[in-house]
């Protein structure tokens, strides 16, 4: 008998994927999903960070086309980047199995929006499975692979922050599955999605979904937790835990597969209940569908669509308590670490009153006081396009102050096409791009990226030189400067660039303070091993 283990939901997903014979895990870091692939690697699984979520999903799809099992991990906004792959892979289907593990962030603990991944499942026609705790994260990961392999379709395993990060006991299965052997079977009409093929595959997808729905009615991971007949709660994911604690007397229908929904089961459950509720985190995804199917369930007040739920908030829903919710005490605002190399760059940008089209990373904290030196941040890679847009239309004096600022990981995630735009459609007064290369993906916990020269497990890989790529794409003036030791030169270079009508890119390279030791150790292991310190 395997030992019970204390695991976070993310760790349980990694273990489940390993035990079900997942041949490769791919992904791009993003809270709250990041630890899944790191754990999968530690457990001996084949894992890689890809430059972005779209590429990660494409690699995983290729693995699944080879007849074996693949998972791709990301945070909710990552699925926006990978959405093109999601939608069409639902048509092509897979030969082996493909699970999109997507972690939502209700309450925006660490994200730029609060979107609900389940909308993607319904839009793309991809089944969704939602665990409520670590045991289910383990079990449902296995189930997601099984459903994917059986119906040859991608499946979304939707996690939320509390499920991903809360640790609970997990009883793993005794027998790990023997993975299938990779083998390519040609299927041109099935995988080349020209319109003639795609029309047929769309019909096939709808038939598959109808079959999966039937299966979900009878064999799906849905449970009725008995209680008093008067109150019926339909729920899923972590919200089911809060619902049970808030109303221990209620009868609960806990749904494990939330698309396609088992409507007969749900309507049958609701039939004899005097009071009916739907408790779910984020959007009214279940409510909308149940009402559309004829279920008489109330809308919850709009306030409960935002933020995480908890037992107290669920009690409010159940008692129709519309009084103002207590305001949580304000925590200490986050800030750049003292001595962070990013701060040196933003001091200079602030000094020259630059209009900064910013991006996502640790450096986004420069938008907050005391620096207050970033003017926009929308999504990964947007700094370059937004900066160019501003430069195109602002009056000269303002246009010349616009600078796009992006981190190294973000640049390789989705900045390259911004540079293509900059070279292709340059604004009349040129543009200035600053890449903050701190040689790590600091914000999500120091993951490697294609410019660090190391892979997910920190072993060496070819390194992409950002300045060489930018120069090769046609930017005329490309400089690399150390923002800490060459702050004066950086200041002068910026002033000069703002005055020309040319394109300038400055790579500001200095390791993140917190990652510097590991970077030195990885680059000069012998110095660290002998205790003299890197470069000493």
In the complex, minimum distance from the CB of residue 512 to ligand TPP, in angstroms, rounded to a whole number: 6
Q: Which stretch binds ligand TPP (CB under 6 A): 93-101, 140-148, 244-252, 408-416?
A: 408-416
Pick what 336 binds: ligand TPP, ligand SF4, none; C-beta below 5 to 8 Å, kind-dependent: ligand SF4
Q: What is the CB neighbour count within 10 angstroms for residue 471?
A: 14
> What b/e sequence results for 184-201 when a residue is b if at least 16 CB atoms lie within 10 Å of its CB, and e otherwise?
eeeeeebbebeeebeeeb
If binding is defined by CB under 6 A, does position 409 make contact with ligand TPP? yes
| The Cα angle at residue 340 between residues 336 and 345, in degrees rounded to 5 | 100
Nearest to 129 by CA among 14, 12, 258, 253: 258
If binding is defined by CB under 6 A, does position 510 make contact with ligand TPP? no
Tokens of 252: 């609960």
Q: Which stretch binds ligand SF4 (CB under 6 A): 19-27, 371-379, 414-422, 508-516?
A: 508-516
In the complex, minimum distance from the CB of residue 339 to ligand SF4, in angstroms, rounded to a whole number: 7
For residue 26, CA distances in Å to 43, 46, 404, 499 come to: 15, 9, 29, 44
Q: Is 294 left (phi over 0), alpha (psi -120 to 50) or beta?
A: left
Q: With 0-12 CB in 10 A as exposed, 13-18 as middle and 19+ as buried, what is 229?
A: exposed
Q: Which stretch binds ligand TPP (CB under 6 A): 28-36, 307-315, 344-352, 460-468?
A: 28-36
- Nearest residue (CB) to ligand TPP, 149 versus 380: 380
Nearest to 224 by CA among 189, 187, 256, 259: 256
Pick what 30 binds: ligand SF4, ligand TPP, none; C-beta below 5 to 8 Å, kind-dependent: ligand TPP
Q: Which stretch binds ligand SF4 (CB under 6 A): 43-51, 75-83, 99-107, 332-340?
A: 332-340
In the complex, minimum distance from the CB of residue 364 to ligand SF4, in angstroms, rounded to a whole number: 10
If binding is defined by CB under 6 A, does position 440 make contact with ligand TPP? yes
Yes or no: say if 101 and 72 are a contact pair by the CB < 8 Å rule.
yes
Tokens of 482: 């150390």
Pick what 286 binds: ligand SF4, ligand TPP, none; C-beta below 5 to 8 Å, kind-dependent: none
In the complex, minimum distance from the CB of residue 381 to ligand SF4, in angstroms, rounded to a whole number: 18
If binding is defined by CB under 6 A, does position 344 make contact with ligand TPP? no
Distance between CA atoms of residues 263 and 172, nearest Å: 31
Binding mask 454-493 for ligand SF4 (x = CB under 6 A): ----------------------------------------
Residues 29-68 that bind ligand TPP (CB under 6 A): 29-30, 53
Tokens of 272: 């004899």
Residues 400-459 that bind ligand SF4 (CB under 6 A): 438, 442
If binding is defined by CB under 6 A, does position 368 make contact with ligand SF4? no
Only one residue has tokens 């410019």, namely 451
Residues 260-319 that bind ligand TPP (CB under 6 A): none
Residue of 82, 362, 373, 433 interacting with ligand SF4 (CB under 6 A): 362
Residue of 340, 432, 481, 484 interacting with ligand SF4 (CB under 6 A): 340
- Nearest residue (CB) to ligand TPP, 80 versus 500: 80
Q: Which stretch binds ligand TPP (CB under 6 A): 19-27, 221-229, 287-295, 355-363?
A: 355-363
Q: What are the residue ranges of helices labelled H in 6-160?
A: 9-19, 35-42, 53-65, 76-92, 118-124, 134-151
- Total binding residues toward ligand SF4, as defined by CB under 6 A: 10
- Nearest residue (CB) to ligand SF4, 423 versus 513: 513
Tokens of 268: 């049958």
Pick what 487 binds: ligand SF4, ligand TPP, none; C-beta below 5 to 8 Å, kind-dependent: none
Residue of 115, 258, 410, 452 interacting with ligand TPP (CB under 6 A): 410
If binding is defined by CB under 6 A, does position 514 make contact with ligand SF4? yes
Distance between CA atoms of residues 374 and 406, nearest Å: 11
Q: In 260-410, at which residue ranges do the beta strands (DSSP E only) sit? A: 275-279, 355-357, 402-407
Q: Which stretch binds ligand TPP (CB under 6 A): 91-99, 273-281, 440-448, 460-468?
A: 440-448
Whether omega before 260 lies within 30 degrees of 0, making that bond cis, reads: yes
Distance between CA atoms of residues 388 and 404, nearest Å: 8
In the complex, minimum distance from the CB of residue 396 to ligand SF4, in angstroms, rounded to a whole number: 34
Backbone angles phi, psi at 284, to 5 degrees: -75, 60
For residue 78, CA distances in Å to 73, 145, 421 come to: 9, 21, 22
- Total binding residues toward ligand TPP, as defined by CB under 6 A: 24
At a CB cut-off of 8 Å and minimum separation 6, what does 171 contact?
A: 2, 4, 135
If binding is defined by CB under 6 A, does position 336 make contact with ligand SF4? yes
Residue of 24, 39, 75, 454 interacting with ligand TPP (CB under 6 A): 75
| The Cα angle at residue 432 between residues 430 and 434, in degrees rounded to 5 | 165
Binding stretches for ligand TPP (CB under 6 A): 28-30, 53, 75, 77-78, 81, 360-363, 380, 407-410, 438, 440-444, 512
Binding stretches for ligand SF4 (CB under 6 A): 336-337, 340, 342, 362, 438, 442, 512-514
């Amino acid at each position: 008998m395997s030992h019970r283990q204390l695991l976070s939901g993310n760790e349980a997903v990694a273990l489940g994927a390993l035990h079900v014979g997942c041949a490769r895990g791919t992904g791009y870091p993003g809270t709250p999903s990041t630890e899944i692939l790191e754990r999968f690697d530690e457990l001996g699984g084949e894992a890689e960070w890809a430059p972005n979520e779209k590429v990660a999903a494409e690699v995983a799809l290729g693995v699944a086309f080879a007849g074996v099992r693949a998972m791709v991990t990301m945070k909710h906004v990552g699925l926006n980047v990978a959405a093109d792959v999601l939608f069409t892979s639902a048509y092509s289907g897979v030969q082996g199995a493909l699970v999109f593990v997507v972690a939502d962030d209700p309450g925006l603990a660490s994200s730029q929006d609060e979107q609900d991944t389940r909308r993607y499942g319904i839009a793309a026609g991809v089944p969704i499975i939602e665990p409520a705790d670590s045991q289910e994260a383990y079990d449902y990961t296995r189930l997601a692979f099984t459903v994917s392999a059986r119906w040859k379709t991608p499946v979304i395993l939707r996690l939320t922050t509390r499920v991903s990060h809360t640790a609970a006991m997990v009883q793993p299965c005794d027998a790990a599955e023997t993975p299938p052997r990779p083998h390519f079977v040609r299927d041109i009409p099935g995988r080349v999605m020209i319109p003639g093929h795609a029309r047929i595959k769309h019909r096939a997808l709808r038939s598959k979904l109808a079959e999966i729905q039937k299966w979900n009615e009878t064999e799906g991971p849905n449970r009725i937790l008995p209680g008093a007949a008067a109150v019926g709660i339909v729920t899923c994911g972590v919200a089911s835990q809060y619902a049970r604690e808030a109303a221990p007397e209620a009868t609960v229908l806990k749904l494990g597969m939330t698309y396609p929904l088992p409507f007969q089961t749900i309507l049958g459950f609701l039939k004899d209940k005097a009071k009916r509720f739907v408790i779910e985190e984020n959007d009214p995804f279940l409510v909308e569908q149940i009402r559309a199917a004829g279920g008489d369930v109330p809308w919850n007040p709009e306030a409960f669509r935002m933020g995480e739920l908890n037992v107290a908030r669920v009690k409010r829903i159940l008692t129709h308590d519309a009084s103002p919710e207590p305001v949580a005490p304000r925590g200490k605002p986050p800030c750049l670490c003292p001595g962070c190399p990013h701060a040196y760059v933003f001091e200079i940008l602030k000094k020259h009153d630059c209009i900064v089209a910013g991006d996502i990373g640790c450096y986004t904290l420069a938008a907050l006081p005391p620096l207050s030196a970033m003017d926009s941040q929308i999504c990964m890679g947007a700094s370059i396009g937004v900066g160019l847009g501003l430069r195109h239309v602002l009056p000269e004096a303002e246009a010349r102050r616009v600078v796009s600022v992006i981190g190294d990981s973000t640049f390789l995630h989705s900045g390259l096409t911004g540079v293509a735009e900059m070279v292709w459609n340059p604004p009349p007064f040129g543009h200035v791009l600053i890449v903050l290369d701190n040689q790590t993906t600091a914000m999500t916990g120091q993951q490697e990226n294609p410019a660090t020269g190391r892979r997910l497990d920190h072993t060496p890989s070819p390194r992409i030189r950002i300045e060489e790529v930018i120069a090769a794409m046609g930017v005329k003036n490309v400089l690399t400067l150390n923002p800490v030791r060459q702050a004066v030169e950086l200041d002068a270079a910026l002033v000069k660039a703002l005055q020309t009508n040319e394109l300038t890119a400055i790579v500001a390279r200095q390791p993140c303070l917190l990652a510097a030791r590991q970077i030195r150790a990885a680059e000069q292991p012998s110095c660290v091993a002998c205790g003299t310190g890197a470069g000493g």
